[in-house]
Amino acid sequence: MGELRRLGRRGGYRLGSLGSGSGAGMNGSIGRLRGLGRTPRRLTFGPERPGPRPGWWLAAVVAGAVVVAFTALAGLWFVPFAVGLVAGVATRRAGWRVRLALPAVLVMAAAGWAAPLLWQALADGEPVGATARVIAALGGLPPYAVAGVAATLVVACAQAAVGLWLGRAVTPPPAR
């Protein structure tokens, strides 16, 4: 019955209050916390999730891009999907948010496919530009090498994003 009396009253549940004192509402607790040098807690509607450290995020992106690049040179066009799938499982287990994992997977796929294309065009002297123009024209795009290369990178990014989604969908959330 005590809960019903507090329902709807200002300060009835002392949201934002870390201390337990009589009459400690929002204003009293914020003043106490600022005096102690701490910032007040903000109201959230989900569990706190640790984000990746920038070093780990960058290391994961570079490792994934290297795997995609070497397998792209070998002709394995489906590897961005597999890398996205592994990244989806790993990020779900680690508790990383999608807004941090998706850019990493997209950069992995794009850099992983762009590096071999650039390498073949510059070092090997292969006619990558002419091939990209023909592929773009056959695909209904403007007959420019940039369009063919861009379409290839978009397909790789789409594969990686779908792999990330599937990996996160089939992996249970971490126990907290």
Q: Which two tokens stand for residue 170?
A: 């089939």
Task: Confirm if 109 and 160 have CB atoms less than 8 A apart.
Answer: yes
134-146 confidence digits (pLDDT tens): 877 887 888 887 8
Provide the Cα torsion 50, 55, 57, 60; round to 10°. Answer: -130
* Residues 157-168: tens digit of each pLDDT: 999 999 999 999
The number of residues in the chain equals 176
Q: What would the pLDDT profile of 107-120 be if each residue is shown by its tens digit?
A: 999 999 999 888 87
Domain ranges of the chain: 2-36, 54-170
What is the torsion angle, in degrees rounded to the nearest 10, for the CA atoms of residue 52, residue 54, residue 60 and residue 65? 140
Distance CA 34, CA 64 (A): 44
Read off the pTM.
0.66
- Within 10 angstroms of residue 163's Cβ, the number of other Cβ atoms is 24
